[in-house]
């Protein structure tokens, strides 16, 4: 009995230690598993966030993660979601409303480059979709470009001109940079592309070499502990922003009705009052929809985006040749969706319309003859007083036949006569549509547009 009696205190001590440990750890685990409560009162379980995150990772092209790795990432993403839907709700809502203005343009450019549409969340993580955002280190704009990086990707940075604050130009540069990063890191993990955008490609390349994961799949979870502290937090923040942008209503953020507004890109800075007049609305109404313009007399940058009612957006698009209209982003769009390449609008029957961009050397009579409509009809539909038109102007063509805008890629040895016979259209048609004045000046690879039924 003596030996057994001596073991008893140790056994009791061991059991008490395990019990105390369980009592201390259980509240921490329970707290970490506490559901997220949105502004609308909905309770989102951590398990639901894990499911949505897993789906997002698959859409990004990430390979299968182990349950332990996914749980660890879910905890980090949930912490950001809790902040975005809680104490930072007002800031996040303001960022989403600003983002509505730029996201259609960003998604179109990402899709054209073949990049994941989830990268639209990068400007939210970088600048909260503020075109005028500045950091202490000197980064500026939607995509937070440093001066040297901006110049490397073709943006002008100086005292008078700073293209980093130009949403469209900065997005073009960001897409080029993301394509470069994706080619370099996507084989290991798409999330390393995101990490490299934050920390720089050189630093991430050194981290991959240090971790021994170069060229392997499922790299991110194995590289994670080698990443800089700031970048370790940046990737979950990006994923949380991507989840909210994919379905804002689920996380308690109101959605703008799709039928109510459009977003118009204005190429050159214009007086706010002139924009309102062209759109056919009062300046007060324009400022109500775009309150940030109250501090400006003119639109603050080139390629600036304003929010307008549908009819006003169409009116501005018709009267301002350089304006470009984008529809709002609808919720619950799959992140692997790609914007399909669209041909020019097709005229189908009486009363239908298509859009033609005026080329150098065109005249109203020639356009009317090419599409088989009267000059008076062109004037009436486009609200023209005379026959004056300029290159780049877009005209609405009321059509009676189904016409589709197509293109032909010039080959070596081609000339306009050969191409016209091959396509079954007159040479004058090709010259007119493409603004060609010298038929001999064709180069291989050039695209020639034409209209055919």
> Taking the complete model, does pTM exceed 0.85, yes or no?
no
Cβ–Cβ under 8 Å, residues 198 and 207: no
CATH of domain 95-224: 1.10.530.10
Side-chain-facing half-sphere of 31: CA atoms under 13 Å = 6
Burial 265-292, CB ≥16 within 10 A → b, else e? bbbeebebeebbebbebeeeebeeebee
Write the DSSP symbol of residue 378: H
Give the model's pLDDT for residue 30.
37
**Helix orientation angle between 190-199 and 201-211, rounded to the nearest 10 degrees:** 130
User: Rounded CA gap, 365 and 380, in Å?
Assistant: 14
Residue 218 gets the label, from left (phi > 0), alpha (psi -120 to 50) or beta, of left
Tokens of 320: 């301002």
CATH of domain 352-452: 3.10.350.10
Domain boundaries, the chain: 1-32, 95-224, 261-326, 352-452
Give the model's pLDDT for residue 335.
34
Count the Cβ atoms, other than its own, within 10 Å of residue 241.
Answer: 27
Cβ–Cβ under 8 Å, residues 161 and 193: no
Report residue 84: phi and psi, to 5°.
Answer: -60, -40
Tokens of 430: 């090709």
Surface-to-core class of residue 141, CB atoms within 10 Å of its CB (0-12 exposed, 13-18 middle, 19+ buried): buried
Q: Which of 243, 275, 279, 247 is nearest to 261 (CA)?
A: 279
Cβ–Cβ under 8 Å, residues 378 and 385: no
Surface-to-core class of residue 357, CB atoms within 10 Å of its CB (0-12 exposed, 13-18 middle, 19+ buried): middle
* H/E run at residue 32: helix 2-32
Give the model's pLDDT for residue 256.
59
Per-residue pLDDT of the chain (453 residues; tens, 9 = 90+): 334 434 445 454 445 555 545 444 444 443 456 888 887 778 899 999 999 999 898 888 887 777 888 888 999 999 999 999 888 888 998 899 888 888 988 988 898 888 888 999 999 999 999 888 888 888 888 898 888 888 888 888 887 778 888 888 899 999 999 999 988 888 788 899 999 998 888 888 888 888 776 655 566 777 888 888 888 889 999 999 999 998 888 898 887 555 578 889 888 889 999 999 999 999 888 888 888 788 888 888 888 888 898 889 988 988 888 888 887 765 433 333 333 333 333 333 344 456 777 877 788 888 887 777 888 888 888 878 788 888 778 787 776 455 677 888 888 888 888 888 888 777 878 888 887 777 777 888 888 888 775
User: Rounded CA gap, 14 and 12, in Å?
Assistant: 5
């Amino acid at each position: 009995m003596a030996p057994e009696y001596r073991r008893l205190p140790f056994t009791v001590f061991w059991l008490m230690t395990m019990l105390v440990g369980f009592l201390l750890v259980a509240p921490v685990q329970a707290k970490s598993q506490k559901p997220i409560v949105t502004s609308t009162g909905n309770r989102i379980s951590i398990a639901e966030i894990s499911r949505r995150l897993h789906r997002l990772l698959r859409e990004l092209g990430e390979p299968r993660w182990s349950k332990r790795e996914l749980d660890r990432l879910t905890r980090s993403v949930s912490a950001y979601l809790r902040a975005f839907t809680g104490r930072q709700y007002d800031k996040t809502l303001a960022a989403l409303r600003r983002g509505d203005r730029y996201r259609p343009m960003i998604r179109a450019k990402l899709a054209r480059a073949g990049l994941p549409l989830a990268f639209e969340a990068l400007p939210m993580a970088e600048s909260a979709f503020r075109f005028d955002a500045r950091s202490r280190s000197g980064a500026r704009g939607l995509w937070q470009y440093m001066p040297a990086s901006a110049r490397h990707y073709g943006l002008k940075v100086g005292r008078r001109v700073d293209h980093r604050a130009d949403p469209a130009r900065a997005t073009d540069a960001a897409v080029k940079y993301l394509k470069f990063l994706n080619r370099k890191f996507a084989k290991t993990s798409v999330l390393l592309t995101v990490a490299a955008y934050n920390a720089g490609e050189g630093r991430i390349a050194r981290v991959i070499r240090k971790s021994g994961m170069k060229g392997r799949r499922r790299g991110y979870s194995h590289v994670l502990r080698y990443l800089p502290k700031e970048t370790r937090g940046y990737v979950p923040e990006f994923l949380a922003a991507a989840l909210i942008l994919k379905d804002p209503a689920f996380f308690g953020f109101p959605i703008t009705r799709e039928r109510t507004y459009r977003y118009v890109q204005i190429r050159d800075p214009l007086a706010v009052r002139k924009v309102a007049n062209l759109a056919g609305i009062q300046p007060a109404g324009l400022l109500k929809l775009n309150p940030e313009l109250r501090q400006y007399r003119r639109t603050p940058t080139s390629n600036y985006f304003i929010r307008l009612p549908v009819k006003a957006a169409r009116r501005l698009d018709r009267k301002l040749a350089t304006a470009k209209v984008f529809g709002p982003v609808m919720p619950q769009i799959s992140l692997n969706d790609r914007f399909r390449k669209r041909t020019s609008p097709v005229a189908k029957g009486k009363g239908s319309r298509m859009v033609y961009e005026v080329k150098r050397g065109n005249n109203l009579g020639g356009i009317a003859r090419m599409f088989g409509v009267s000059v008076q009809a062109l004037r009436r539909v486009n609200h023209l007083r005379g026959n004056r038109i300029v290159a780049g102007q877009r005209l609405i063509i009321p059509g009676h036949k189904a016409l589709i805008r197509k293109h032909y890629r010039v080959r070596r040895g081609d000339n306009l006569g050969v191409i016209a016979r091959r396509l079954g259209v007159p040479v004058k048609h090709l010259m007119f549509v493409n603004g060609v004045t010298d038929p001999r000046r064709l180069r291989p690879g050039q695209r020639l547009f034409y209209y055919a039924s």
